[in-house]
C-alpha cells in the first residue's frame, strides 16, 4: 500500500516562496482563496496541524502555521476567510453511496419511520411543498422501523396491532396529487382517492382492494393484484426533470454534509444524469462510478477504464469510472449473508450467494470460478474489483479468491471487501497480508445492533463491525454510508452519524450506554482517516487528494467544532460550516 502515498513534488517552488515570509507587494502568484486562523487537521504525518490554507485554482498551494505568511499570497481578487479557530479537515469522501435512490427519499415520500396517521399526513404535507401540482407521490416504505421495533418474534406476524393507513387520512391534503405508496416489504400499497379515480376504481373495485365493512375501498391494495396493475398502468412515470431534481436534492444534502466525493454504485441512467449535471455546472461532488462487475468486459471494449469520464472517455478527476462492484452474498437484514454456521434464529439457513457467484436458481450453490472469471475480465479492461461480502463465510471466500489472484502475481491495490460485516478471528490478519481494503459502513452498527445477537449469537457478534480488531491487525478502513439504505433500513449519510457509530458504537439515542461490544470502538482520528485520505487511497488517487497538503486538489471541509476535543457523546451535535470542492466553496452555513 505504501507506494500509493507517493509525494507530489510539483509544488515545492510554491512552498519555498511561502517560507520566505510576507511581502508587502501584490504577489506574482496571488491565491484565489486563503483560509486563516483555522485548526486545520491535515491528515499528513509531517505536518498534522496548520493554521492557514492557500488555494490557487483547484489546488492547495500552501499549508502554513503562520497566518502572516499566508497573507502574502493575497492579491486584489483573493477571497480571505477568517475561520475563527474552527476545525478543518480534508473533504469527507463517502466510500459507498447509492446516489440514484437518495433523492427520492428527499423529494418523494419517506415513511420509513412513520407508523401512525399523523406521521403519514405530515410527510404528505412535506412532499407537497416540493412537487408540482398533479405529480404523483410515490415510494414511502412505511413500517420499516415498526417491524424492527417488534423484534424477531413478532416480525412476520401480520397481526391487528400493526398500523395500516387508509386513503381518508391523506385525501384532503393530496387532492391534487395521485398517490401510490408502498409498505417497506411491498406487501401493501396505499392509493388515495385521486389515484383510485384515475384508474376507475373508486366506485368499481376489482380484486386486490381492501374494502371496509360498508364495502367501500379503503385505499389499501395488495401486492401482485389486478387493482395494483390498474393503478400502475395510469401512473405517470417520473419525468427526466423530476429525476434531475431528485439528484439536485441529493447533491445539496451532500454539500451540506461536507462530502466532496462519493463512490457510487452506478446505474447507466444515473451515469447519464451525472454527465448532464456536470455539463450544467451543477455537479458539486466528485463521483467515482462503480459499475457492475459483469460490465467490465463491455466497458473495456468501448475503450473505457478506471479514471476515464463516462462520456468523453478522457481522464477526469471529477466524474470517472472507478472499480467494478460485485456481490458474493446477501445481507443481514434478510438473513441472506453467507455464514459457516446457520443463523441462530433460522437453524436451516446459512444465507445465500448472489448471481456473480452462483448459477443455482435459489443461489444455494456457490461458484467462485464464475466470479474469478468476471474479475479477470475486469482486470484486463483495467478495473479493480470491489466486492460485497457480509457473512463470515462470504468474507473468507472473498479473501481466498483475492489470495489466489495475488499468488498469480496480480497487484491487489484498490481491491476491497465491501461491508466486511462479520469476520472470523483467523481472517482479520489477512486484510493486511493481502493489502485488501476493508470498506465498512459504521452507521450499520447503530441500526443493526438491535437484532444482530439474536441472529448470529454472542460469539459471532464479537467479529461484527469489528473495526478496532481490523486496525489492530493492520487493515486499512474505508468508510461509506450506504446512503440511503435498503427498503427496511435508512442509512444516514452525514459524517456525524458514521463517526458517532464508529467511536461510540451506540444507537442515535446513545444506547447501550457503554457501546455495543465497546472493545471495538475506534478513535476519532481513525474515523477521520477512514473518511478522508483512506478513501482517496481506496480510489487509487491518494497522491492527488484526500489530505490537506500543498499540491493536492483543494477539497476541504470546515466543521463547527473540533471533533478531537469534544466529548464523544456530542459528536451528533456537529455541523458542517463550509464545503470546498475543487477549490470552489459549494456550501456555507448561515450562522
Q: Residues in the site for Zn ion, rule: CB under 5 A? A: 482
* DSSP track, 43-97: --SSS-EESEEEEETTEEEEEES-HHHHHTT--TT-EEEE-TT-EEEEPEEEEEE
Contacts of 15 (CB under 8 A, 6+ apart): 62, 550
Shortest separation between residue 97's beta carbon and Zn ion, angstroms: 8
- Are the beta carbons of 328 and 354 closer than 8 angstroms? yes
Shortest separation between residue 480's beta carbon and Zn ion, angstroms: 8
Q: Phi and psi (nearest 5°) for 583?
A: 85, -10
Q: How many CA atoms are closer than 13 Å to the CA of 208, on its beta-carbon side?
A: 19
Shortest separation between residue 261's beta carbon and Zn ion, angstroms: 16
- Helix axes of 495-504 and 524-531: crossing angle, nearest 10 degrees: 140
- Is the peptide bond between 534 and the residue preceding it cis, with omega within 30 degrees of 0? no
Count other Cβ atoms within 10 Å, centred on residue 411: 12
Q: Which of 162, 183, 182, 166 is nearest to 174 (CA)?
A: 166
Shortest separation between residue 95's beta carbon and Zn ion, angstroms: 10
Q: Which is nearer to Zn ion, 264 or 482 (CB)?
A: 482
Q: In Å, what is the CA distance from 28 to each residue of 31, 32, 73, 119, 591? A: 10, 13, 9, 60, 35
Shortest separation between residue 421's beta carbon and Zn ion, angstroms: 12
Residue 472, SS3 per DSSP: helix
Q: Which is nearer to Zn ion, 482 or 577 (CB)?
A: 482
Q: Which is nearer to Zn ion, 290 or 549 (CB)?
A: 290
Q: Which is nearer to Zn ion, 242 or 356 (CB)?
A: 356
Shortest separation between residue 113's beta carbon and Zn ion, angstroms: 20
Shortest separation between residue 215's beta carbon and Zn ion, angstroms: 44
Give the separation between CA 127 and CA 122, rounded to whole angstroms. 9
Spacing of C-alpha 404 from chain mean position: 30
* DSSP track, 303-327: T--TTB-TTT-SB-SSEEE-PEEEE
Q: Which is nearer to Zn ion, 90 or 336 (CB)?
A: 336
When computed from its CA atoms, the radius of gyration of the chain, rounded to whole angstroms, is 25
Shortest separation between residue 265's beta carbon and Zn ion, angstroms: 6
Shortest separation between residue 483's beta carbon and Zn ion, angstroms: 9
Contacts of 78 (CB under 8 A, 6+ apart): 30, 31, 32, 33, 34
Closest-CB residue for Zn ion?
482
Shortest separation between residue 287's beta carbon and Zn ion, angstroms: 15
Give burial (CB, 10 Å; 0-12/13-18/19+) of 142. buried
Shortest separation between residue 569's beta carbon and Zn ion, angstroms: 28
Considering only the C-alpha atoms of the chain, give the largest distance between any 2 of them, rounded to a whole number of Å.
87
Q: Which of 18, 90, 39 is nearest to 544 (CA)?
A: 90
- Are the beta carbons of 91 and 53 closer than 8 angstroms? no
Amino acid at each position: 500500500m505504501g507506494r500509493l502515498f507517493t509525494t507530489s513534488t510539483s509544488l515545492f517552488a510554491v512552498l519555498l516562496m511561502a517560507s520566505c515570509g510576507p511581502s508587502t507587494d501584490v504577489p506574482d502568484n496571488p491565491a484565489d482563496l486563503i483560509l486563516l486562523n483555522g485548526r486545520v487537521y491535515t491528515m499528513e504525518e509531517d505536518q498534522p496541524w496548520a493554521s492557514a490554507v492557500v488555494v490557487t485554482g483547484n489546488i492547495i498551494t500552501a499549508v502554513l502555521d503562520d497566518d502572516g505568511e499566508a497573507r502574502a499570497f493575497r492579491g486584489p481578487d483573493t477571497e480571505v476567510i477568517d475561520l475563527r479557530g474552527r476545525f478543518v479537515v480534508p473533504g469527507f469522501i463517502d466510500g459507498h453511496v447509492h446516489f440514484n435512490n437518495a433523492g427520492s427519499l428527499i423529494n418523494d415520500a419517506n415513511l420509513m419511520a412513520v407508523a401512525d396517521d399523523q406521521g403519514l399526513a405530515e410527510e404528505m404535507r412535506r412532499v407537497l411543498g416540493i412537487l408540482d401540482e398533479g405529480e404523483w407521490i410515490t415510494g414511502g416504505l412505511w413500517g420499516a422501523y415498526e417491524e424492527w421495533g417488534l423484534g424477531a418474534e413478532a416480525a412476520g406476524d401480520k397481526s391487528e396491532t400493526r398500523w395500516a393507513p387508509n386513503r381518508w387520512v391523506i385525501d384532503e391534503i393530496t387532492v391534487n396529487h395521485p398517490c401510490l405508496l408502498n409498505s417497506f416489504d411491498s406487501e401493501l400499497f396505499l392509493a388515495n382517492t385521486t389515484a383510485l379515480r384515475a384508474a376507475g376504481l373508486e366506485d368499481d373495485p376489482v380484486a386486490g382492494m381492501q374494502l371496509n365493512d360498508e364495502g367501500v375501498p379503503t385505499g389499501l391494495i395488495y401486492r401482485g393484484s389486478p387493482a395494483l396493475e390498474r393503478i400502475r398502468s395510469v401512473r405517470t412515470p417520473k419525468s427526466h426533470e423530476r429525476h434531475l431534481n431528485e439528484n439536485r436534492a441529493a447533491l445539496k444534502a451532500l454539500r451540506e454534509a461536507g462530502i466532496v466525493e462519493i463512490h457510487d454504485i452506478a446505474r447507466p441512467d444515473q451515469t447519464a444524469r451525472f454527465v448532464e449535471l456536470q455539463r450544467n455546472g451543477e455537479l458539486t461532488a466528485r463521483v467515482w462510478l462503480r459499475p457492475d462487475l459483469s460490465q467490465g468486459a463491455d466497458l473495456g471494449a468501448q475503450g473505457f477504464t478506471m479514471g476515464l469520464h463516462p462520456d468523453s472517455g478522457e481522464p477526469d478527476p471529477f466524474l470517472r469510472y472507478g472499480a467494478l462492484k460485485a456481490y458474493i452474498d446477501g445481507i443481514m437484514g434478510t438473513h441472506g449473508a453467507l455464514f459457516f454456521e446457520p443463523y441462530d434464529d433460522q437453524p436451516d439457513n446459512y444465507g445465500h450467494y448472489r448471481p456473480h457467484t452462483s448459477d443455482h436458481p435459489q443461489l444455494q450453490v456457490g461458484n467462485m470460478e464464475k466470479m474469478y472469471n468476471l474479475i479477470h475480465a475486469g482486470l484486463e479492461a483495467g478495473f479493480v474489483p470491489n466486492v460485497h461480502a457480509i457473512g463470515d463465510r462470504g468474507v473468507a471466500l472473498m479473501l481466498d479468491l483475492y489470495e489466489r489472484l495475488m499468488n498469480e502475481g496480480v497487484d491487489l491495490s484498490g481491491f476491497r471487501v465491501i461491508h466486511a460485516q462479520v469476520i472470523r478471528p483467523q481472517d482479520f490478519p489477512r486484510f493486511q497480508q493481502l493489502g485488501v481494503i476493508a470498506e465498512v459502513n459504521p452507521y450499520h452498527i447503530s441500526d443493526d445492533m438491535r437484532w444482530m445477537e439474536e441472529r448470529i449469537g454472542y460469539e459471532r457478534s464479537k467479529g461484527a463491525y469489528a473495526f478496532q480488531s481490523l486496525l489492530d491487525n493492520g487493515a486499512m478502513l474505508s468508510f461509506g454510508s450506504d446512503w440511503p439504505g435498503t427498503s427496511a433500513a435508512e442509512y444516514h449519510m452525514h459524517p456525524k452519524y458514521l463517526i458517532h457509530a464508529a467511536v461510540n458504537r451506540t444507537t442515535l439515542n446513545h444506547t447501550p450506554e457503554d457501546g455495543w461490544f465497546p472493545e471495538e470502538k475506534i478513535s476519532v482520528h481513525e474515523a477521520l482517516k477512514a473518511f478522508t485520505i483512506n478513501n482517496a487511497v481506496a480510489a487509487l488517487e491518494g497522491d492527488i487528494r484526500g489530505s490537506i497538503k500543498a499540491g493536492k486538489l483543494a477539497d476541504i471541509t470546515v466543521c463547527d467544532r473540533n471533533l478531537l476535543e469534544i466529548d464523544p457523546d456530542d459528536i451528533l451535535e456537529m455541523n458542517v460550516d463550509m464545503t470546498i470542492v475543487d477549490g470552489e466553496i459549494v456550501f456555507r452555513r448561515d450562522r
